[in-house]
Amino acid sequence: MSTDGPASAEALREPALPALDPVIHAQPRLRVIVALSALADGDRVSFPRLQELAGLTAGNLATHLRRLEDAGYVRVAKSYRRRTPVTWLSLTTAGRLALEEYLAALRALLDSAGQGRHQHDNKAGREPRNGETAP
């Protein structure tokens, strides 16, 4: 990217920002998608277990899953166990890719904001960077 120095950072901020996927960029959906990404390849998880993993209420999880399913990021499959319906969730390839792109965009944002002052030290970069970007 063509950010020349810290002085021009503010002016360039708007166009230089990589867009953050709005489907993922919300706390509950981010939790869901990251929890699903922790499953081994090809595995799927039941709705109640995903609720535990993501720390969401059933209603909340159902709402956000619908949004993720509509975006094509999450695969929803239903099956029956002793006549009780079980919902199985897994990440689609598109979902996995979306999370990776979202992570790349986050890193690019943080790098451009912290450029010139910090290298890739994530923990140490926190406080001065916040002070710098706040108007």
Partner 1 sequence: MSDADARSAPQPPAAGELSPRESLELIRAQQASAARDLQVNPVPILASWGVAWALGFGAFYFASSGARGHFLPLWAAAAILCTFSAVAVAAVVAQLVRRGRGVRGPSRTVAASFGWSWLLALAGVFALNIGLSQHGLPASLAPLLWPGSSSVVVGVLYLAGGLLFADRVQYGLGAWMLAVGAGSVLAGWPANFAVLALAGGGGFLAAALCTVMRTRARAER
**Site residues, partner 1 (CB under 8 A):** 20, 25-28, 30-31, 34-35, 37-46, 48-50, 52-55, 88, 90, 103, 106-107, 109-110, 113, 122, 126, 129-130
Which is closer to partner 1, CB of 8 or CB of 133? 133
Residue written as token pair 């790349």: 104
- Name the minimum Å distance from CB 25 to partner 1: 7
d(CA 111, CA 31): 23
Residue written as token pair 């792109």: 101
Which is closer to partner 1, CB of 94 or CB of 100? 100
* Burial of residue 114, with CB atoms counted within 10 A of its CB: 0-12 exposed, 13-18 middle, 19 or more buried: buried
Which is closer to partner 1, CB of 49 or CB of 66? 49
Which is closer to partner 1, CB of 94 or CB of 104? 104
Residue 15 phi, psi dihedral angles, 5° rounding: -70, -25
- Name the minimum Å distance from CB 96 to partner 1: 13
Exposure string (b/e) for 17-46, b if CB count within 10 Å is 16 or more?
eeeebebbeeebbbbbbbbbeeeeeeebbe
